[in-house]
Structure 1
Amino acid sequence: MNELNGQRLLVIGGGRGIGAGIAARARELGMDVVVGAREPSTIEGGVRLDLTDEATIATAAARVGAVDHVVTLGSLPHDVPIAELDRDRVVAAFEAKVIGPLLVAKHVEIRRSMTLFSGVVGWRPGPGSVVKGVTNGAVDFAVRHLAANLAPVRVNAVAPGVIDSGAWDGKGDAKSAFLTGAAGQTLVGRHGELDDVVEAAIWIMRSDYVDGQTIHVDGGRR
């Protein structure tokens, strides 16, 4: 198991939610954390990095220099029925989840591991989630091919289920019922908590013998 103390981590999308949780936990473990974000001015250790803009990726890579680990959590959901798909938003969703991480691999000097984020929707088709489902599914294949191309740098993905990370706060009073319903659809009888996903990402960084895998943190939801 890899000791993380003193290692350098770039968290892309680390300004809030799961990304911020990973950044905070990494700092507790003694890691040197840099956060890449579209709007980094209010983020500790923040640099501008937009996964839909290769120039910002290249500039951030030059500024940050070599890192031991990269975690990328970018997402631009476009959850609409097929008849309402907007081409530009579909492309943006792929840029955030798949194309952007490929370009991060191109530009950033990574010494140990890269972790992408997928999601349970990739394995649970349903109305109105085709773009999210296909992009999350594409991440699973991306890590396999990136692992083969970047070796000995390890490349894996985390695929969360429904996690109470702040992403559902916009539901207001309906949030509690939503999380209860999500819990009932798992095998473990509860929804996910932030620490469930954060510790999975930390474990992947530490585990030198895990490569080309998608780790599902969904309580058996699939």
Structure 2
Amino acid sequence: MSEGLTGRRVVVVGAGSRTGRLLAHAASAAGAELVLAGPDPRKLEWTAGELAGPSTVVPVDLADEASIEALAARAGRVDHLVSTAAMPANGPLEELELADIRRAFDAKVIGPMLLAKHLAGQFAEDGSLTFFSGVAAWRPAPARTVMATTNGALAFLVQALAVELAPVRVNAVSPGIVDSGSWDGLGAGKEDFLKGVATRNPARRVGTPEDLVKAVLYAIDSPYVTGTVLHVDGGGRLV
């Protein structure tokens, strides 16, 4: 990886999240120049302050095309882009609010499409875009209709973009249950929940943010992989 990213420019959308920060650390340690993007400038500055190499902070709102266009202008030449963005809209169908549904699609489908639209002409020929889908697309569940739909739409979007943007590569990482902090709201029930997931998963464990970063780096560094969803779910979609 160090040779593959030395002197390359990597845009990380969602660099204020735990997974986004870890990815930024890994890319920076491998010699990349980072463009850190996301909705919260304070978290982006926090990430930037932790990196050994150069970085630029650019706030972006994936629901605002002008904001994405401004990111493209600031980013300049790009080698790789990764977006970890997600805005879940979970709950029973009859309780869903239209505004929440639209935000979920902005983060997972419309935003990625607009990122491709405004940045496509700035990628190196051996560049790539990597987005985050999710296991819910393959294992839908009650109260997860929006999550399943947006993640599934993204899986098909990367195929279409891989054809349209060729030779620039486009892939997705699809996490399963990952202990990234998103389950902390379960309180005392978190440990039992994660143990139950590990018991059912063929891999007999839950995921970590480090697992996701490894998958992203594989997608970035693999010149013959495009239009592909990398399932990082411990086999959870199968059971």
TM-score under structure 1 length normalisation:
0.96
Equivalent position amino acid for 1:137 in 2? G
For residue 137 of structure 2, the aligned residue among 105, 116, 122 is 122
Which residue in 1 is equivalent to 2:13? 12
- 2:35 corresponds in structure 1 to 34
The aligned runs of 1:176-195 (5 Å cut-off) are 176-195=191-210
Mean alpha-carbon deviation: is it higher for 138-147 or for 35-44?
35-44
Give the letter aligned to residue 38 of structure 1: P
Point out which structure has higher relative CO (alpha carbons under 8 A, 6+ apart): 1
Instruction: Measure how far apart 1:40 and its partner are.
Output: 1.7
Counterpart check, 1:149 vs 2:164: yes
Which position in structure 2 is the counterpart of 1:81?
92
Structure 2 residue identity aligned to 1:89:
D
Deviations 1:112-132 (A, max 9, x none): 000010000110011000000
Tell me, yes or no, if structure 1 residue 110 matches structure 2 residue 111.
Answer: no
Alpha carbons of 1:168 and 1:210: their partners in 2 closer, same or farther (altered >3 Å)? same
SS at match of 1:219: coil
Distance across 1 between alignment mates of 2:173 and 2:72 = 23
**Contact in 2 for aligned 1:76/1:93 (Cα 8 Å):** yes
1:41 counterpart SS class: helix
Contact 1:37 1:50 in 2 (8 A): yes
CA-CA distance at 1:82 after TM superposition:
1.0
User: 2:42, 2:130 → 1: CA distance?
Assistant: 24
Give CA-to-partner distance per residue, 1:155-182, whole Å, 9 cap, x none. Answer: 0000000111222222222221111111
Deviations 1:81-114 (A, max 9, x none): 1111211211111111010010001112222000
* Residue 56 of structure 1 pairs with residue 67 of structure 2: yes
Alpha-carbon RMSD across the aligned residues, in angstroms, is: 1.3
Unmatched segments (≥5 aa) in structure 1: none
State the one-letter code of the partner of 1:155.
V
Structure with greater proportional helix content = 2
d(CA) in 1 for partners of 2:200, 2:34: 35
Query: Which residue is 1:97 aligned to?
Result: 108
Identical counterparts, % of pairs = 45
**5+ residue gaps in structure 2?**
49-55
Summarize deviations over 1:125-153 as a string: whole Å, max 9, x none: 11000000000001110000000010000
Distance 2:87 2:43 in 1: 21
* 2: CA distance, partners of 1:171 / 1:26: 32
How many residues align? The count is 222
Which residue pairs with 2:189 in the alignment? 174
Following TM superposition, by how much is the alpha carbon of 1:42 offset from its aligned partner in structure 2, in angstroms?
Answer: 4.2
User: 2:35 & 2:187 partners in 1: Cα distance?
Assistant: 32
Residue type of the alignment partner of 1:119: G
Distance in 1, Cα, partners of 2:168 & 2:42:
30
| Matches of 1:181 and 1:33, distance apart in 2 | 38
Query: Any conservation in 2 of the 1:49–1:57 contact (CA below 8 Å)?
Result: yes
Structure 1 range deviating more: 29-38 or 143-152: 29-38
